[in-house]
Homo-oligomer: A and B are copies of this chain.
Amino acid sequence: MREDDEVSAAGGATREDRRRDPSRVLALTDGVFAIIITLLVLDIYVPELSRHETLQSAISDVRPSFVSFVIAFIVAAMQWTGHRDLFTLIRYTDRGIIWLNLLTLFAVCLLPFGSALLSRYSEDPLALRLFGLILMATSVTRTAIWAYATQRPSLVHEPLDRASIRSGLALSVFPLLVYIAAFAIAAVSPQASLTVYASAPVLYFITITLLRWLAPRGSAEREFT
């Protein structure tokens, strides 16, 4: 096994190993995330001043798009740290992981559209629901990768124990429930729905912090970012 690893490092791995190597999957994913978080800023436009208008008053029009930029940046950043945590456990990729990962990227790619829509029509139930659907898609695909990989010992570095698998699933499913709640109340109270979306990252952050704190030393949960 030592021998194998060395050969692998030197690029002389078997065809099987090369095919299952996750490095290009990660390169594509990091590239997409880098572009997404940078594109989000393009929605913050420089205001045009009409006659007798000062920049001071015009700049307040930029506020909604700035708020939407902040929310979408945090969402994308959390998706990325979650993706990174996930792939520290995954040693090899197969056809299933690659396509599930492309589905994740598909959902992530829609984030700039969702956040632009929300920044424009933040009171509209439809905009709130579409934004929610995109967030749900990111959560569902991530949960799917987690479930898929942890069921296949040949794909992970070390098989995870039951408790860790369940914590990981809970962590992926948890934001999904929050998004469903925000989606459900969008028609009744757009204001409350928006508040739930905005507080989701905070809840998520607290949940991870708790998980890290409660989990036994050496378990996978301790290492979530």
Q: CB within 8 Å of B: which residues of A?
A: 2, 5-12, 15-16, 18-19, 21, 24, 26-28, 30-42, 44, 46, 55-56, 59, 73, 77, 80-81, 84-85, 88-89, 91, 95, 98-99, 102, 105-106, 109-110, 112-113, 116-117, 120-121, 124, 126-127, 130, 157-158, 220, 223, 225
Min CB–CB distance A170 → chain B (angstroms)? 19
Q: Which residues of B contact A120 (CB under 8 A)?
A: 46
**CA A195 to CA B34, docked complex, whole Å:** 32
Q: Which residues of B contact A8 (CB under 8 A)?
A: 10-11
Please, which residue of chain B has its CB at the minimum distance from the CB of A22?
B11
**CA A77 to CA B109, docked complex, whole Å:** 13
The winner among A5, A15, A36, A223 for most chain B CB atoms within 10 A is A15
Asked if B117 contacts A98 (CB within 8 A), the reply is no
Q: With A32-B38, A34-B32 as given contacts, are A6 and B10 in contact (CB-CB < 8 Å)?
A: yes
Question: Which residue of B24, B27, B41, B55 contacts A110 across the interface (Cβ within 8 Å)?
Answer: B41
Asked if B27 contacts A26 (CB within 8 A), the reply is yes
Q: Which residues of B contact A88 (CB under 8 A)?
A: 15, 18-19, 21
**CA A89 to CA B13, docked complex, whole Å:** 11
26 residue pairs A–B, Cβ–Cβ below 8 Å: A5-B7, A6-B10, A9-B10, A11-B91, A16-B223, A24-B26, A26-B27, A31-B31, A32-B34, A32-B38, A34-B34, A34-B35, A35-B35, A35-B38, A41-B109, A41-B113, A42-B112, A44-B110, A46-B116, A46-B117, A46-B120, A55-B127, A56-B126, A59-B130, A73-B109, A84-B98
Asked if B41 contacts A38 (CB within 8 A), the reply is no
Asked if A37 contacts B109 (CB within 8 A), the reply is yes
Min CB–CB distance A204 → chain B (angstroms)? 13
**CA A124 to CA B126, docked complex, whole Å:** 32
